[in-house]
Structure 1
Amino acid sequence: MIDLHLHTDRCGHARGTMQQYIARARELGLIAIGFADHIPMYWLPPGQRDPELAMPQEQFGDYVREVLDWRDKCPDIRIYLGVEADFQAGYEDVLTGLIKTHPLDYVLGSIHFIDGWGFDNPALRDEYARHDPDELYESYFALVEQAVASGLFDSMAHVDLLKKFAFWPRRPLTHLYQRLAGLMAQADVCVELNTAGLRVPANEMYPAVELLRACFQHCVPVTLGSDAHAPEQVGWEFGRAINLLREVGYGEITYFVGRRRFCRRLP
């Protein structure tokens, strides 16, 4: 299998070196992996960027070179160069410039902030109590839709991350799911099945099964990622993920080389 969502200690809130992640992938028999450390917080002035949330600007080139070096050293396992990039409306040109600077294989898009609030940060969890659940989900998915429409991303990572702390809406989200799946199909953007949701209070993968089904109905391709923040999390619960993909109807997963899309049949 192919795990396209691995974070290393370069991103400031994960641990482990690339060598350790590669070793773990070999133990699991993965045929390929992709590193996707968090891109620098390009929308903030340098002095306001948190080194515990994303790599500093001056390390971005070193990150790229390190991935490419390990690719050359490890012919037995394919290693892809990716990044995870937060979408910030109004800064699309800045992100485009960063992306084009390096020979990336893929870019995972994500939303971690709503009006400056890092809603997936455990230290800021109390902020949820100040919001109406249904209104917050509407706001969140509106941002995801903007990210999809931007054309900047190959796949959308943990697309319903807002549920991380088991903060659930009161109303069904069917209308949001169907609208988002249709937009992803129209924009030709993949959805990521991310197993990290099984490690947090939500206790379910990203996205919700209903949203994953909507993506399949709209013929949205799917990528697979553990969102590993430690070497032992590589390939986390991929057996369950593959079973879910089959249950929904998917027969293959997507990966990227030089921003071009390829597919591999599920085992």
Structure 2
Amino acid sequence: MSLHQFFLDDQVLADEGAAVFPLRLAPDDARHARVLRLAPGEHVAVVDAARDYFECEVVSFDDAMPLVRIARRLDAPDDGPRVILLQGLAKGDKMETVIRHATEVGVEAFVPLRCARSVMKVDAKKAAAKRSRWQAVAKSAAMQAGRRAVPEVSEPLGLPEACELLANATAVLVCWEEAPQTATMRAALSDALAHAGCAVAADARVAVVVGPEGGLAPEEVERLLSCNPRARLVSLGPSILRTETAGVVAPALVLYELGGMGNAGGALGASEALGAGGL
């Protein structure tokens, strides 16, 4: 049976001097732990602030924090391919749906993308609150899926800022409903990796772009394809997928082709995942 998993923001377990010590959980996680009614003797998985992975035994649980002892320290997984998703802003709870399920699939970071046809508009006042909510969704999904780190969700970016971010990616895959059917994910990814001279798929740093409900405008597609010499157009098949479906299917296909499905390596921010500079 899989263990309940928690992330620590500011606690490094290797620095704990006592055999039994409290887990300094974030308030939301502490409430979640109480709901779980963790009992003495139960084990939980913990990813600490140093991104080290531990299995801990619950010794006792009061109204504040669980007291635990380290049962064992687990080895970090090998690095694998990193995929970030640039998702066109979508209305309602569609962004949360994409972030939740794409986190489970293995996406390393998310960039909400302001597009010409986005129904949802996020002004500067709402951007921070939206990002905080989306980050909480990513954390919840990472805990449920047993990810070794929480993917970072950036604030919404416009196309110019997104293109700067994409300049250093190993490959940029632009999903578009008007792409020719021959532009399959496998063919586009293979061609981009060959152009990048990436001999090992596990070393790939791939960005996937999915448009909003109305799709990407032709001029946006043109600009995205011109921002990186390894940018390729991709068709997701003859059916026109909803944006919240495409936002999960597309990165899942990339990870499958790269052999990275099930990789639970440490998540990075979008800039780190693509080997780029700061946002």
TM-score between both structures, scaled by the size of structure 1? 0.40
Q: Which has the larger radius of gyration?
A: 2
TM-score between both structures, scaled by the size of structure 2? 0.38
